[in-house]
Amino acid sequence: MATFQTLPGFRDFYPEDLAKRTQIFRLWRQTAASFGFVEYDTPVLEPLDLYRAKSGDEIEGQLFSFTDKGGREVALRPEMTPSVCRLVGARANALKRPIKWFSIAEFYRYERMQKGRGRCFYQFNADVFGEPGPEAEIELIALLIQCMRAFGLTEKDFCVRLSDRDLWFHYLAALGQDEPRIRSVLGAVDKYERNGHDAFKGYEESFGPMAPGLKQGVLDFLGIRSFGALEKALESSGASAGMAGRLAQWRKLLGGLGAMGLSDFVQVDLGVVRGLAYYTGFVFEAYDRRGELRALAGGGRYDDLVGRLGGSELPAVGFAIGDMTLALLLDERGLSAAISQAPDVYCIVGGEPERKAAFADISRLRANGYRVDYPMKEMAFGKQFKAAADSGARIALIYGTDELARGVVKMRDLGGRTERDFPTSEVEAAVREFFEAR
């Protein structure tokens, strides 16, 4: 038994684990680049106040925070949004717009572990700054969907549930609610899926029994599953100018996603309002279709946050995908594939004199970018062939006494099980030819 373990909630990545993670990162990067997003990064350690400013004091319980040797209160980053708001806000006037940025980074939260949740995890974050209209949401939701499809996931595996906090505000205001009451109702909406009618208890404790019309209005809204139904619901409740304005935004957003051929991935569902209250417009979450896992990704519009954290006012939309739930889903669907770490060439070496000759070629081939491996210790030929096959290499180069006496090296195609001799001077060219022929 090992004397030391990882801290609770932290993970070791053995090579086979890291290969999977690297593959996930690689596909995220590729996808983001194909959408014209550029990558940035920020420090792992930030001033504690950065997170207090965004989320309030109560956030501290969920942070890895401490006082550093200079007496500064600091925290390991629990999310990317405040940091990226700082970056963008500081150069808001100098950056060409729209600003399309992404990052892949590790985050830390002092929380109890659960399936799909640990104390450290990676997130892909993507944000669009400087674009107030739903064009930004179109781009981001399309990116989110492609970031899943890149792994082979389809509309049968996941969907993006789309909602609108701004519309909720207009709708609840029309039902006679003031702002504190609206926030309380939204809190209940967030819990409704899990807790049913108990979700409204908090509201009733603060503000007294809910008017039957209000409750029915909320439940009606929660039942909406299509844009047509949404239009109809707002019509019958006498749409205000604010609601009409939101409907126009919805039309544009859904129209754009439809034109990209993504309608099957998008589900109107006003039950998604997202936990913390800084979202100001559209909000969305990606879920697996079977509903067995935690949310795969989530995001929305936060037009006020850059101003609060970064200095300059700047409209913004963003989302994050976590690595843990996605990895669970990929495993479940048999879609997790690691990057091959097999060598291209495995050298089979007779003895010490042959080893010298092999080393010259090994060194040259490696310098040319081929992945080359060989046994470190003298080993029987039979074992070496087995090792070559086990390694996953495509070809074996055989440096035996007989071959070197004839001035050749034998090259074996491990897949085709064919062999050919090459003069020692031509080995490098022969290897190159083999791989270029593919």
Applying CB under 7 A, the residues found at the interface with RNA are 1, 5, 8-9, 51, 55, 59, 62-63, 78-79, 81, 109, 111-115, 117-118, 190-191, 194-195, 274-276, 294, 298, 320, 350, 379-383, 385-386, 388-390, 392, 398, 400-403, 410, 412-415, 417, 419
Distances (CA, A) of 51 to 59, 69, 283, 309: 7, 20, 21, 10
- Provide the residue type at 83 as one letter: S
Distance CA 80, CA 84 (A): 6
CA neighbours within 13 Å on the CB side: how many for 335?
17
Distances (CA, A) of 76 to 25, 64, 66, 160, 351: 21, 6, 9, 30, 53
37 vs 302, beta carbon nearer RNA: 302
234 vs 329, beta carbon nearer RNA: 329
Buried/exposed 229-238: b ≥16 CB within 10 Å, e otherwise: ebeebbeeee
Backbone conformation region of residue 375, classed left if phi is above 0, alpha if psi is from -120 to 50, else beta = beta
100 vs 109, beta carbon nearer RNA: 109
233 vs 411, beta carbon nearer RNA: 411
Buried/exposed 285-298: b ≥16 CB within 10 Å, e otherwise: bbbbeeeebbbbbb
The minimum distance between CB 235 and RNA, in angstroms, equals 31
48 vs 257, beta carbon nearer RNA: 48
The minimum distance between CB 172 and RNA, in angstroms, equals 19
114 vs 368, beta carbon nearer RNA: 114
The minimum distance between CB 95 and RNA, in angstroms, equals 22
The minimum distance between CB 435 and RNA, in angstroms, equals 17
178 vs 402, beta carbon nearer RNA: 402
Nearest to 431 by CA among 357, 343, 349, 350: 343
The minimum distance between CB 77 and RNA, in angstroms, equals 9
Distance CA 354, CA 230 (A): 77
The minimum distance between CB 213 and RNA, in angstroms, equals 26
Cis ω before 98 (30° cut-off from 0): yes
Nearest to 263 by CA among 142, 126, 134: 142
Neighbour order of strands in the sheet with 395-399: 372-373, 345-349, 395-399, 408-413, 418-423
Residues 304, 305, 310: CA angle, nearest 5 degrees? 120
Distances (CA, A) of 383 to 16, 361, 402, 409: 24, 21, 18, 19
The minimum distance between CB 376 and RNA, in angstroms, equals 10
The minimum distance between CB 133 and RNA, in angstroms, equals 23
243 vs 409, beta carbon nearer RNA: 409
152 vs 400, beta carbon nearer RNA: 400
Neighbour order of strands in the sheet with 297-301: 38-39, 99-108, 120-129, 316-322, 297-301, 282-288, 158-164, 266-268
Determine contact, residues 257/136, Cβ cutoff 8 Å: no
The minimum distance between CB 391 and RNA, in angstroms, equals 8
The minimum distance between CB 175 and RNA, in angstroms, equals 24
Secondary structure element (H or E) that encloses residue 82, with its range: helix 81-90
207 vs 258, beta carbon nearer RNA: 207
3-state SS, residue 338: coil
